[in-house]
Structure 1
Amino acid sequence: MNIINLLTVGKIILNENTPSRTTKFEHYLIPYYQRGYRWDEEHVHALLNDVHAFMLSDEKKYCLQPIVVVPRADEEGNNIWEVIDGQQRLITMNIIFNYLNRPRYSIIFEKRAKSTTFLKELSSETYEHDNPDFHFMSQAFLLVKNWFEQKTQNDVGYIDEFNSTLTKKVEVIWYQIEELKGIANNEIIEGKKIDIFNRLNIGKIPLTDSELIRALLLSKVKHGLTEREAVLRQAEISNEWHRMEMEMRDEKFWYFINNKALEETSSCIEFIFNLIAQNNNKRYSTYLWFEKEIKSDNPEQERLTAMNLWNQTKDYFSKLKHWYTDSHLYHHIGFILASGDNSIANIKKIIENSRTAKSVFNKWVFDEVKKELSHININSLTYEKSKPELKKIFLLHSILLTASLKSGRYIKFPFDLFKKVENDGGWTIEHIHAQQSKEMKDEKAIRRWLQETYKAVEEISSIEKYSNVGAEKHENIEVSEELKAGIQQMLSSAKIDVNKFNLLKTELVQIFDSESVHLLDNLALLSKRGNSSLSNAIFPVKRQKIIEMEKEGIFVPLATKNIFLKYYSSSDLQPYFWSKGDKTNYFEDITKNLQPYLTQY
């Protein structure tokens, strides 16, 4: 089983557990399949400056990135570590210790004996640039030399303090792959080593916190067990780990609790580890928290702590899964996380409150939604000043409408689709009826507007505009054949007269304009990409586009879809116009559904 530990840098130079050899200092083998040393000024200075900053800080520990090794034996049978990941850091620290004239480990390059000798004998007198290894090693030594000369100008004790800090306080994550321990020329083992190296280096994918935590837990839970019991315990954890990972990788589950794109997530279970740990968002901070919690001089205590942390992981997963399967919790918590604070701290706060009785927790979640809307007066929202508030109102409206459905394409609000749009351009507030907008001048955009408009109005001969809500009195507005012919004539012209087009556009907009201002009853939620395709369009064009988007499987929030499918219309005589009655019915539907949450209603 793989071994994972935190080791001070001094321990990777001289480890008391290393078997005796002529030179007891550790030996590291850089295998043939790795490229040579390539750190430049930026990398070398970053390492030096990080240690310097840590030395001057009040922090007790500083951790470098992982060093991944496989135990091997050299030609004389002595222990040597084959480096899978961490070559650049190991060589740079070797050069630093060389310049400081302090004890250091040995670096051996497999099949590059000249590089081994050059690094061992490197000094200000041996700079050479005949090959890449020599060039970058020489450059690194010079950078180290100049950096320390500057630091020691007024501090004769600086080198001693720096060396003590680096060897005694700076740690590395030591990842020892025991499962690949074997004969060096075994083709299967060599292939696995190369696969790991490629994943860590060529793909630029470092070890994740979850991979490190997995190795840590599996290495600690076997203490005091027989070999068979240890294998069974580790297999049990591995199976539970796999089940949770696969369930969380379900997009519907993942996006319910998380805004981060799933394809950017190498390990979903790491999300739970971040919830458990006192995370400070620094790299490997979650693993370091687990390592600190487990670490003890008593192996039995380490086993118990590791099992407790694993049981806590399962408990957190169970809570998240319960939220996902319970309709009330799913839609209310989903709204909180989609519209408000999606931070680890906020989700952990919800978890802590979930430890109360079910009825108490359900009410708490309900009150948290009310809190999200507590500052909103639904009667005073405007397009110009209230876009964030409008987004919350429209999101909750669609969530509640979806939750009330008994059957259909969605019976749970699809937070996965909502957040995918959020990650791909985001959401915006769209006017429902045609707006008087700036003149259009781009001929390509004008032709597209004319084509879409003609397609939408071709079969419309007139529309009915009701003079007042609930009254039978109405006026019939003609969409004349002459107007349609004018659209066709412009489309057939080699060059469009921009002024004539904008006059035609104004006439069409006035026909389909319901004389509304930028208030809630004339606004809806739509993706920015969808909104850009509907910009400047009259209502029947928008309606047709929404229908096409729905047919193509493009996500449109239910409340928005209801608008353009005329769900709020009391008559089917005017499906191409957003009337005063439609607006009133739409506003009333929002207030009816959201009234329990609107403290200012």
Structure 2
Amino acid sequence: MSKQENQIILKTITELLGLHFYIPDYQRGYRWTSHNVSQLLNDIWEYRQDPAKVNSFYCLQPIVVRKKTWVSENGDTVDGYELIDGQQRLTTIHRILTYLRIEHLRIDKFSDEYKEDIYTIEYQTRPETRQFLNQTESNLTKPDLYYLSKAYDTVKDWFENSGKIEGRSDKNNFLDTLLPSVKKDAEGDTIMPEWSTQIIWYEINDNSQKSEELFTRLNRGKIPLNSAELIKAKFVNQESFKEFGEQEKVKRRTQLIQLWDEIENHLNNPKFWAFISNKKMDSYASKIEYLFDIATQKKDSSKDNLYSFIHFFDDKENAESLWEKWLSIEEIYRSLSYWYTHKNYYHKVGYLIAIGTNIMDIIQLKKENDKDLFEQEINRLIAESIPNDWDDLSYDNRNDHKKLIEILLLVNTELTRKNNNNNDFFPFEIYKNINKSLEHIHAQNIIGINENKREQWFSWLDMHLNVLPSITTNTKKAAEIIEQAKTIDREKYTYAQFQDLSASIIEILPKDDEDENLYLHNIKNLALLGLTENISLSNSIFEIKRRKIIEMDKKGAFIPIATKRVFLNYYQKESYAQSSIWTKVERENHLEEIGECLNHYLNKTPVLNEA
């Protein structure tokens, strides 16, 4: 069997007029519901109503076709296309056009006003369906005819009763969007109409692939027709790079495919992926699509799965421009790969990506500046991410939480970056896969404990009673409290009793000489943890948290370096004191280290020449 490259292009629905499609017996019939049909109508009309979308197009999902010749029911030989994937979409468009032909234009066939008649769809095992598609009456006797009848009813109801379409002009606008006037320029290329509905035409020319196997794999998601696969097909189809000549064309395409596979393999490394992206790895079937999303500036809020394919290529691409497009992807990949292996850039760029900085902005800075200036620009971006009032942010203000988390992330990446151990890299792959949470280092109270959940009361009591004898100076009172706790009937215990007992415990705990209200919600009293660890530590005194952190660290839990320093008494320095409390000296030393990490950027922001 010969093996030819598949072809991928965009076609307007107008360009489908006059074509013939064949649905083989391995496919089930038409099954779109009223919801599916209404959604398509709504999407096309919302596109047409948006003035910002003029000179763009509404893009339907790909249809997969292969040239085929068959004998029709009346014995005629038909040259057309086997429709391997896309039956539901093309059939629904046919139903919409049939309504507009009969109820709006009131013509017998589209060729009365267009160059060609509406495309035909012929079913191998359901020959009556072809003629039924051009009719308006209902027939509920067979599954296919039932769904086709309901689809037409939905279309009719949408145009006439939904309130979205008002008068003949709206129907004209919808029809012009669905069947735009197609004009060619002097070179024979299609001129983009102001408004149009287009479909991704994926034509299989590789005869080694059986249609039924392709259909099965497509519908099981084994060949995801995502932006990456469509872009790849566009790069390597028979029309690409033809201006280079046959030998050079083969060379370029081979080089592209080899690097494509290399990039895909590297992007499947969880550590590399977590460095360059804040998205889950399973967000992409083909990870390389993320690079095209970066290049096309796709917003996270975009729900268009084919956004990067639609926006990556220009209307007219020649060999040179197409190759430049590929080199732009190479540049993004090689920049990210270099920064990933360079400890300094890894932490600086990694932090910026983690807080949502546009990667293309960073790539652009690299293109525009030499090495030294680039690092200055990176430092400037980091400085701009630090609020001027960072030391006044408060946990008590929910709006400050994101800023506090980002500052503590920067502190942790800075401490790791400055560590002389070259093999010590901040684990973004762990950090991005946990729910980040702010932990009060000192929290000598029961605020936040649910008064209706006994398990929380007794968890707090058990932890504190366990450490009480070893940390209190009032051992007599501690013994009395412990004995009192032994008599508790946990089934009948009330929240009021828990409040009294917890107050007695708190009263004999070691205390610092500073009013906790002055610093409780300040950054000097906050550390970064994963949410699961935070839940197990909330409302516990410092000593309990310290012991728990050590226990978790022994088990290999992710404890950010700054958090670990807090609970291992790193900030006591020469003024060693009772380790069971978070002292004023430690708080100030902790704040000083945070300030040193931030001031590395705040004090070195370059003054750039505006000229």
Shorter-normalised TM range: 0.7 to 0.9
* Alpha carbons 1:7, 1:173 under 8 Å: kept: yes
Query: Could you say which residue in structure 2 is the equivalent of 1:333?
Result: 349
Q: How far, CA to CA, are the matches of 1:278 and 1:598 in structure 2?
A: 29
525, 530, 533: which is aligned to 1:527? 530
Q: How far, CA to CA, are the matches of 1:383 and 1:278 in structure 2?
A: 34
Q: Does 1:561 align with 2:577?
A: no
Q: How far, CA to CA, are the matches of 1:47 and 1:394 in structure 2?
A: 46
Q: Deviations over 1:334-384 (max 9, x none)?
A: 222323x43xxx321211111211011111111221121252252x34332
Query: Could you say which residue in structure 2 is the equivalent of 1:363?
Result: 376
- The one-letter code matched in structure 2 to 1:336 is L
Distance 1:79 1:430, change over 3 A: farther
197, 200, 209: which is aligned to 1:173? 200
Query: Could you say which residue in structure 2 is the equivalent of 1:387?
Result: 401
Query: Could you say which residue in structure 1 is the equivalent of 2:149?
Result: 138
Q: Does 1:500 align with 2:474?
A: no
Distance 1:453 1:70, change over 3 A: farther
1:231 shift after superposition: 4.7
575, 578, 590: which is aligned to 1:574? 578
Q: Deviations over 1:160-184 (max 9, x none)?
A: 65444322232111111222566xx
Moved more, 360-369 or 190-199: 190-199
- The one-letter code matched in structure 2 to 1:578 is W
Query: Could you say which residue in structure 1 is the equivalent of 2:22?
Result: 29
Query: Could you say which residue in structure 2 is the equivalent of 1:468?
Result: none
Query: Could you say which residue in structure 2 is the equivalent of 1:396?
Result: 410
Task: Note the aligned Cα RMSD (angstroms).
Answer: 3.2
1:135 shift after superposition: 1.4
Q: Does 1:290 align with 2:330?
A: no
- The one-letter code matched in structure 2 to 1:194 is T
Q: Does 1:70 align with 2:70?
A: no
Query: Could you say which residue in structure 1 is the equivalent of 2:35?
Result: 42
Query: Could you say which residue in structure 2 is the equivalent of 1:595?
Result: 599
7, 25, 39: which is aligned to 2:11? 7
- The one-letter code matched in structure 2 to 1:576 is S
Q: How far, CA to CA, are the matches of 2:381 and 2:50 in structure 1?
A: 40
Moved more, 278-287 or 100-109: 278-287
Distance 1:333 1:462, change over 3 A: same
Q: How far, CA to CA, are the matches of 2:332 and 2:532 in structure 1?
A: 37
* Alpha carbons 2:6, 2:202 under 8 Å: kept: yes
Q: Does 1:217 align with 2:235?
A: yes
What is the correspondence of 1:69-108 to structure 2 with a 5 Å cutoff?
Answer: 69-75=65-71, 78-99=78-99, 100=101, 101-102=109-110, 103-108=117-122
* Alpha carbons 2:295, 2:312 under 8 Å: kept: no
Q: How far, CA to CA, are the matches of 1:153 and 1:273 in structure 2?
A: 37
Q: Deviations over 1:196-219 (max 9, x none)?
A: 23218xxxx962211111111112
Distance 1:404 1:278, change over 3 A: closer
- The one-letter code matched in structure 1 to 2:148 is M
Q: Does 1:552 align with 2:548?
A: no
Q: Deviations over 1:474-533 (max 9, x none)?
A: xx554833333444443x755435433322222333404434232333222223332222
* Alpha carbons 1:245, 1:269 under 8 Å: kept: yes
Q: How far, CA to CA, are the matches of 1:325 and 1:191 in structure 2?
A: 42
Distance 1:50 1:431, change over 3 A: same
- SS state of the match for residue 266, structure 1? coil
* Alpha carbons 1:115, 1:134 under 8 Å: kept: yes
- SS state of the match for residue 579, structure 2? coil
Q: How far, CA to CA, are the matches of 2:65 and 2:246 in structure 1?
A: 24
Q: How far, CA to CA, are the matches of 1:521 and 1:51 in structure 2?
A: 54
341, 354, 359: which is aligned to 1:347? 359
Q: How far, CA to CA, are the matches of 2:150 and 2:555 in structure 1?
A: 58
1:85 shift after superposition: 2.5
Q: How far, CA to CA, are the matches of 1:588 and 1:155 in structure 2?
A: 70
* Alpha carbons 1:55, 1:162 under 8 Å: kept: yes
What is the correspondence of 1:128-207 to structure 2 with a 5 Å cutoff?
Answer: 128-148=139-159, 162-168=174-180, 169-180=196-207, 190-199=212-221, 207=225
- The one-letter code matched in structure 2 to 1:178 is N
Q: How far, CA to CA, are the matches of 1:152 and 1:444 in structure 2?
A: 55
Query: Could you say which residue in structure 2 is the equivalent of 1:208?
Result: 226
- SS state of the match for residue 199, structure 1? coil
Query: Could you say which residue in structure 2 is the equivalent of 1:585?
Result: 589
- The one-letter code matched in structure 1 to 2:345 is L
* Alpha carbons 1:72, 1:181 under 8 Å: kept: no
Query: Could you say which residue in structure 1 is the equivalent of 2:442?
Result: 432
- SS state of the match for residue 496, structure 1? coil
Q: Deviations over 1:218-265 (max 9, x none)?
A: 124341567676555433212201111221222222222321111222
- SS state of the match for residue 81, structure 1? strand
Between the two proteins, what is the percent identity of the paired residues?
Answer: 30
Gaps of 5+ in 1: 15-25, 183-187, 297-301, 464-475
- The one-letter code matched in structure 2 to 1:351 is I
1:6 shift after superposition: 0.8
Q: Does 1:311 align with 2:327?
A: yes
Gaps of 5+ in 2: 102-108, 111-116, 181-195, 605-611
260, 263, 276: which is aligned to 2:295? 276
Distance 1:114 1:488, change over 3 A: farther
* Alpha carbons 2:443, 2:542 under 8 Å: kept: yes
1:147 shift after superposition: 4.3
Distance 1:366 1:2, change over 3 A: same
- The one-letter code matched in structure 1 to 2:479 is E
263, 268, 271: which is aligned to 1:249? 268
- The one-letter code matched in structure 1 to 2:268 is R
1:450 shift after superposition: 2.8
1:461 shift after superposition: 2.5
Query: Could you say which residue in structure 1 is the equivalent of 2:545?
Result: 542
